Amino acid sequence: MFKNIPMRHLIPLLLLSSALVFVIFFYAVSLPAAKKQAERHSQQQTRAVLQVQHGRFADLLLLQENSQLNKEIYYVSTDPNTYRVLILDETNTVKYSSRSRYIGKNINDLGLPVQEDLIEQASKERRILLGQPSANSPYIAGYAALQFTRDNKDYRWRLIIIRDYKRITDAILEIATYPSEMLATFLLLVSVTAIIVLRSHLERRTLPLLQTASRISRGEKNVRTAIEGTDEFADIAASLDQMASRIDAQRLELENAKLNAEKANAAKNYFLHHMSHEIQTPLTALLGFIDLIKETGLNTEASLYLRTMETSASTLSDLINDLLETSRLEAGTVTPVPQAFCLNTNIQSLLDTLLPRARDKGLSLKITCSDDEPIWLDSDPRIFRQILVNLIGNAIQYTEKGTINISIEPVAVADDETDLTITVSDTGIGISEKDIPRIFNRFFRSNAPNVRRQKGAGIGLTTCMSFAKLINGSLDVESTLGVGSSFTFRVLVPSSIPEREYDFSALSMQQQESLLILLVEHTPVSQLLLKSILEKTGHRVETCRTAEAAIQFMKRRLIYPHLEQASLVLMDLHMPEVDGFRAAEEIRGLDSRYERTPIIATSTQNDQVMRDKVAAEEFDGFIAKPIDRRILAEEIFRVTRQLGAKKDVVSEELRDSEPIAEPAQSVN
């Protein structure tokens, strides 16, 4: 309580508190005790009066000396402390009183401070009783029995004397208060005098100490106190001077160490900058040649060696990039360079490098965006790319099976600002609860065996956090061990005006998940071309050359629900016998669940008439031939994104159906 109070205030405060404690003690203890004594004294006087008068009044009543009785009552009431004198009969009716207007009235109707139960008790027990004074009343009532026999008749009357003890209390309090007030005043005067003297002395001795300590805390050099003497303050001053001397020596050592560290850091940055370039140049060439070799016909053993080389080279490249970026962040040489860029294009370019790694592990990448329009920002695209490359790369590295979800949520908070949230979620090994607070520490890696098996230096997330803070963003993580992790990057970034007309193909070129697509194309060359394009983007393709074969394919999925349902149908409109319009209608009519299956039409006729006809029929999209890979990917992304929820419902319904054994024959 007192640890933060200066000593020059504490000692005077204690003296003043002592005086105040005495005053409080007087008013809290002495005064109530004096008041209690006054009550006891008044009760004693009331009892004495009753003892003297009740026998006298009984005799006068027996002799029927009414005149003398009234004189006695008057005599008793002349006492300034006597408030009322009353004589009651058995029915509590006033027979005699110091106030004539009370005579003939019931005691309960007079509003006097009496207690009826004590009246009856005193009459019954034939003894004197005293009532207890209340907190709000200065009166004490005494009760006595008046018993006499007259004309062979017993009378049991009652005597009540009410006394006012306020005057006695005031007199006692006045006697007790005067010396106490004088003593309290004296103590207050002594305390005030001691406060003035002690404060002056303490300030004179402590102020130089405080000033010296303040100068030392501000970093001033060669600061010393100027206090002399043999008291405690002089000892404190000597200790403070010794501490100041040691601080000066340590400061000099730290300044020299800082200078040497800055020189070493500059040399390190120079080395990393030049060596990273020298290492990355041949490494980039190595990765390029590996990609070219993959397109050639290699045997199984050579393909295994090539994949191992590619994984090691990619890991080394990522490590060098992380080290370089960390070094630049530490040196403070990374400065955001705002420029207009499209986030969709940014994500497309980084996915070009990450999708092969995901496919090699059998993972699906799923991107969801709350806005179909391209997202144009005015910030540094390099920072966004670095953050997302690390987050998505980690998700791929620590996920063995399942899906990696990338959620993009842009919210326009003003005409020129966007509140952007990007969440990367995986179904990987997860992070333990005790490791989450340390996950962004440099070089931190969990001791879990499934983490130690993975390659890495533990600086990727540190770099992400540093980049996020560099653009006033935040990076948060939620994870459950054995279930997966979710990293959320949030930033308020200025919006930008699109520099050119832009469609959504930049993002849709990367298929977010592997789909089972039914390709209905009667021309073998077109069928082979479309099948190759779709498979290169990660899809699985089933082909049919006729509408009848396509209808049979879809029927089989109804008869044998354990077979995987087609996620999308790519339908040629110009087929012999049954065209694409009729085929789509037949498929929709097979089952209500197929009303939600996306169907994209393809045609060499690319005019408004055909587009309007397709829009009015059973189709969800349209692609004109010759088919452009970007447009194909864009249209697939659009319809599956819009109807994804419906597709999930169909798959769930089919999975819940009872399976039937699959026949031996196959459909085209």
* Cβ-contact 83, 139 below 8 angstroms: yes
Lowest-pLDDT range, 502-516, 569-583, 615-629?
502-516
Question: What single string gives the DSSP state of each residue in 475-514?
Answer: EEEEEETTTEEEEEEEEEEEB---SS---THHHHTS-SS-
Question: What single string gives the DSSP state of each residue in 85-122?
Answer: EEEE-TT-BEEEESSGGGTTSBGGGTT-S--HHHHHHH
- Condensed to tens digits (0 to 9), the pLDDT of residues 174-198 reads 776 666 667 767 777 777 777 777 7
- What pLDDT is recorded for position 26? 64
What's the CA gap between 503 and 519, in Å, rounded? Answer: 25
Which own/partner contact pairs does 277-284 have at CB distance under 8 Å and 24+ positions apart?
Answer: 279/320, 280/317, 280/320, 283/313, 283/316, 283/317, 283/320, 284/317
How far apart are the two ends of the chain, measured CA to CA in Å?
A: 90
What's the CA gap between 586 and 564, in Å, rounded? Answer: 20
Residue 267, phi then psi, degrees to nearest 5:
-65, -40
What's the CA gap between 235 and 209, in Å, rounded? Answer: 11
Contacts (Cβ under 8 Å, ≥6 apart) of 53: 72, 76, 159, 161
Q: Which two tokens stand for residue 580?
A: 């694409």
- What pLDDT is recorded for position 602? 87
Does residue 646 register a pLDDT over 70? no
Does residue 589 register a pLDDT over 60? yes
* Mean pLDDT, residues 11-36: 69
Question: 2-13 burial, b if ≥16 CB within 10 A, otherwise e?
Answer: eeeeeebeebbe
Does residue 27 register a pLDDT over 60? yes
Question: What single string gives the DSSP state of each residue in 431-447?
Answer: --TTTGGGTTSTT----
Does residue 625 register a pLDDT over 80? no
Does residue 324 register a pLDDT over 70? no
Contacts (Cβ under 8 Å, ≥6 apart) of 473: 489, 490, 491, 492
- Condensed to tens digits (0 to 9), the pLDDT of residues 211-250 reads 788 877 777 777 777 777 777 777 788 887 888 888 888 8
Q: Which two tokens stand for residue 214?
A: 């303040």
* Mean pLDDT, residues 409-433: 87
Which residue did the predictor score with more confidence, 614 or 530?
A: 614
Neighbours of 366 (CB within 10 A): 15
- Condensed to tens digits (0 to 9), the pLDDT of residues 365-402 reads 888 888 777 888 988 888 888 889 889 988 888 888 88
- Condensed to tens digits (0 to 9), the pLDDT of residues 116-157 reads 888 888 888 888 888 876 667 778 888 888 888 888 888 888
